[in-house]
Structure 1
Amino acid sequence: MALMNANTLLYGARDAIAYHQAIQLPDDVRAAMFQADRDIRARLRKVTRFVIDSGRAMSYASAEYRRAKQEPLQFELRFLRQGSVVYDTVIDPARRPPQQTDLDDGIYARTSFLSDFEPGLAATKYFELVETALAPLCKERGWRLVTNKDTCVRVVIDEKIHIDLPLYAVPDTEFVTLEKCFQDVTGLKLVAGSARLSTVLDGFSDIRIPTDRVMLAHRKKGWISSDPRALHDWFVRECERHGPQLRRTCRYLKGWRDFLFLEGGPASIALMACAVRSYKEGGWVPQNDRDDLAMLEIAKRLPVFFSATIVNPVLPDAEPLNDWDEVTRKRFVNAANDLHGHMHTALEGTANAEITVRRLQEALGTRVPYRPDLVRAFDKTPARAPVAAVVASPLPLRRPTTSA
């Protein structure tokens, strides 16, 4: 049993700004990020229309497609945001710069496929098209285009924000089915109602494009199978099963990571998988009004999870989510042990509210408010039979004296 209740320091109360509020992304940063993303989409749509209208799509076709096909390559782009912005686990980084808030916006090419489900669109040409389209925009806005990421094009907006653009291909036939289903559900064409696509896909899983039909462009490997919606669906299901606290604890873990590691800490998906596993393994009863205890329970298990294999929850045969070298693994395990030590001392190792606050700040940083008055202590001594209280007789009321 915990001696101390520090939930208000983490989750907050009506009259207190707590850690949960302190790590929220500021409204101005969020607005700037989404506006930049809308500008990127608009520029890519414009260039794509030019490619289609000018009949240049075949120049982006793979050699295999040109040899096997005679008809023009089908080619259109659609967009679907993914990652922490959609999971609702995005936070304001603790140490910026160099840490940045990122938005992942998947670019989906509706295109022709070969008979073996290899996209007719050449992966290298896909990267080239997107980078060529965005280079003038980046120059106009003072943004920086990063072209050395294996699975995306990155646009650095400023020291606070970058946008990653992973490039996907889906078969033309599958896309036609998706668009028809989307129109049946919303009454809108997909290109007009794309802002609602994520919400519709959440509610109608049967209209998804099959996972094995979604291919991700890789600069070195060409095309690899990868469907980000599968990961999204997994996390949504787990949040529905375990409640909103799971999403909050994932934010806290990301805040811990950002506070402790300037760069290169455990990946967000690895932290999410560890949080979900902590809830699944049982041995404790989550209480929605005790985020502090939930973090303690996760911290107890984190060193063990980091020491073993963290399996990708939607691709169990893929590389582990903690495919770290031994030096990195030891560093992360030691950090997880420290987190557990701080959380244990804060909640179970002291009856001093000031120590509780200091230990939480050592674990998560000074975005945990220094408010010992918000910490509640519990007496762990055995309960005794109540003793009749002796009540003194009330004193007579005295009228206040008035000055002359």
Structure 2
Amino acid sequence: MGHAAGLFNGAADQTLISRVTPTAEQRQFLQTHWNAVADHLRQVLSARHGYPVSTWLQGSYKYATLIKPVRPAEEYDVDVGVYFQWDKSEDIEPTPRQLRDWVQAEIVTYARTCEDLHTVEAPKERCSRVSYVRQFHIDTPVYHLDPKRDHRRLACLSDKWEASDPKAIYKWFKAAVPAGDREQLRRLVRYLKAWAAVSFDDVPSSRPSSILLTVVATEAYQGLWARRLLAFADDDALISVIKAVHDRLFADRAVNNPVDESESINRMSAEDWDGFLPRLGNLRDIAERADDSVDEAAAALIWSEAFSFLMPLPEAGEVEIVDEASGRAVMQLPEIDIEVYSRNPKAFISRHRNEVPGVAKNCDLAFRIVNPHVVPEYATVEWTVRNEGEDADVRSDLGHRQVGMKLLSANEHTAYVGRHFMDCVVRQNGQVYALRRVPVMIREVRHVARNPPRPAYTKLRSFIRRR
């Protein structure tokens, strides 16, 4: 079993898969609305234009690999294909642009009746889009379906037909591995999508598409059939998939549709590919170092380089990095003071050390390392907020990170009820030296308790191997 298997998909309160997977309530909200818009389009388009119209859910929701938006500004993406049916042998048929205009017009009409729908965007080349409250949009690609030949083609806004059959590739995905391995494959795809969601902020056009990650991960996982015969922990499986994907794409960037070799799934430009490949190489380096780690804490800290605030850390107040040879701590742990201030008007409320046992919403927190002499001269300090709880889930605000050379302080504010963490990690030359976890308990209160009891947080020692 991998060192961090329990933090990927285990019984811990916080796991990577639970942090990135939509909750049952969120899935219900999505399902209610895509069903409603699909019902409307089927009925109205067929009655108005005389063609049988069907809809088919596709994309990540259909594959069961959908992940949450990882930041408040992002949205869930649900794809509902709209299929106009007629026999291709007919002499007269609507043009691709006509189909797109018909669907766009009905979406605009539907938007006037749906309170939760707030924006109808200008049509895109391959789909129309409607955005809802609660960070959710529906894309509606439009197809011609020839039922006699079971053939589909996509209607583009540029008035062109494009060969595209989402049903065929979905059937390939379902048949790619035995049913008993399918759930793990879906989790692996979600992990890769989570990595992509936090790793391309500076080069967004180099972020790989969902279908690209799904295809390369599935084909890599198929090649691991021998290892799948035995228990295969998620982090071990992910390491193997990352290595296989990197070997493949480093040698050849071509990724074709597995059911139609003439269609390329990799649509990145050469420039965008140059932004993607080094990050994939860095992911492989992280995976290999995590594989070489000796315990859960060390592995989790290494994986956090790839997954940032999405990666949960062990339930401990302190992680001390210890030299394997001498058994001594590499550095003294940072001590962190937290000052709490109210807003409107701003006023000092309280000061805490290494934890905030109780604080109200809408307060400002000032974190500061009070023993800066323990931080090595050229070390970087990472301040990572990891949010938990229903309030943070509703806003898809799972956290954020700031990093700087000897960044000895950080400022935050309290927004969501529940337990959250400010994690302070000291690194030098990429190597973790120490971690201080600062739990912050946000409550529905007006005043902060002055002298709350300290919880008995544990201390972990993580061994470091010298290379």
Give TM-score scaled by structure 2 length. 0.61
Moved more, 247-256 or 281-290: 281-290
Residue pairs, 1:206-245, within 5 angstroms: 210=150, 213-240=151-178, 243-244=181-182, 245=184
CA displacement at 1:134 relative to structure 2? 1.5
Is 1:367 the counterpart of 2:306? The answer is no
2:239 matched to 1:296?
yes
- Aligned residue type for 1:254: K
State the partner residue of 2:367: none
Deviation for aligned residue 1:49: 5.1
Name the residue aligned to 1:8.
6
Structure 1 residues 39-48 or 354-363, which shifts more? Answer: 39-48
2:27 matched to 1:30?
A: yes
Quote the residue 1:18 is aligned against. Answer: 15
Q: Distance in 2 between matches of 1:231 and 1:255?
A: 22
Q: 1:95 to 1:276 in 2, by over 3 A?
A: same
Q: 1:236 to 1:261 in 2, by over 3 A?
A: same
Equivalent pair of 1:102/1:164 in contact (CA under 8 Å): yes
| Secondary structure at the counterpart of residue 98 of structure 2 | helix
C-alpha deviations, 1:170-214, integer Å up to 9, x for none? 23x63xxxxxxxxxxxxxxxxxxxxxxxxxxxxxxxxxx63xx21
How far the C-alpha of 1:110 sits from its partner, in A, is 2.0
Is 1:78 aligned to residue 54 of structure 2?
A: yes
> Larger relative CO (CA 8 A, sep 6+): 1 or 2?
1
Asked if the contact 2:104/2:123 (under 8 Å) is kept, the reply is no
Of 256, 271, 290, which residue of structure 2 is paired with 1:311?
256
Find the residue that maps to 2:34 and give its secondary structure: helix
How many angstroms apart in 2 are the aligned matches of 1:45 and 1:223?
21
Structure 1 match to 2:429: none
Q: Which amino acid aligns with 1:259?
A: V
Would the aligned equivalents of 1:95 and 1:258 in 2 still touch at CA under 8 Å? no
- Extract structure 1 runs of 4+ deviating beyond 4 A: none
* Pairing 1:127-206 to 2, within 5 Å after superposition: 127-140=100-113, 141=115, 142-158=117-133, 160-171=135-146, 174=148
| Aligned counterparts of 2:283 and 2:180: Cα–Cα separation in 1 | 23
In structure 2, the partner of 1:323 is 267
Q: C-alpha offsets along residues 210-254 of structure 1, whole Å, 9 cap, x if unaligned?
A: 3xx212111125222321110101100113277132121111111
Q: 1:11 to 1:169 in 2, by over 3 A?
A: same
Aligned to 2:187: 248
Structure 1 unmatched ranges of 5 or more? 52-56, 58-73, 175-208, 376-404
CA–CA separation in structure 1 for the residues paired with 2:71 and 2:248: 26
CA distance in 2, matches of 1:372, 1:344: 24
| One-letter code aligned to 1:79 | T
Structure 2 counterpart of 1:106, from 57, 81, 89 = 81
Map Cα deviations across residues 117-138 of structure 1 (whole Å, 9 max, x no partner).
x871222111111111121332
Show the 5 A alignment for 1:89-104.
89-97=65-73, 99-104=74-79
Distance 1:119 1:335, change over 3 A: farther
**Relative to total residues, which structure has the larger helix share, 1 or 2?**
1
Q: Which amino acid aligns with 1:124?
A: R
In 1: Cα distance, 2:92 partner to 2:314 partner: 57
In structure 1, how many angstroms separate the alpha carbons of the residues matched to 2:129 and 2:248?
Answer: 31
CA contact (8 A) 2:126 2:155 kept: yes
The alignment partner of 2:309 has SS state of coil
Q: Say which of 310, 328, 342 aligns to 2:286.
A: 342
**Paired AA for residue 255 in structure 1:** A
Structure 2 partner of 1:48: 45
Amino acid corresponding to residue 318 of structure 1 in structure 2: E
Q: Tell me the alpha carbon deviations over residues 358-397 of structure 1, each in whole angstroms, 9 at most, x when there is no partner.
A: 1111111222221167x9xxxxxxxxxxxxxxxxxxxxxx
The verdict on how the C-alpha distance between 1:119 and 1:81 changes in structure 2, with shifts beyond 3 A counting, is farther
Give the deviation of 1:159 after TM superposition: 5.8
Q: What is the deviation of 1:333?
A: 1.2
Q: Which amino acid aligns with 1:86?
A: K
- TM-score under structure 1 normalisation? 0.70
The secondary structure found in structure 2 opposite 1:214 is strand
Equivalent residue pairs, number: 308
Q: Superposition RMSD on alpha carbons, in Å?
A: 2.6
Identity %: 23
Partner of residue 274 from structure 1, selected from 216, 222, 239: 216
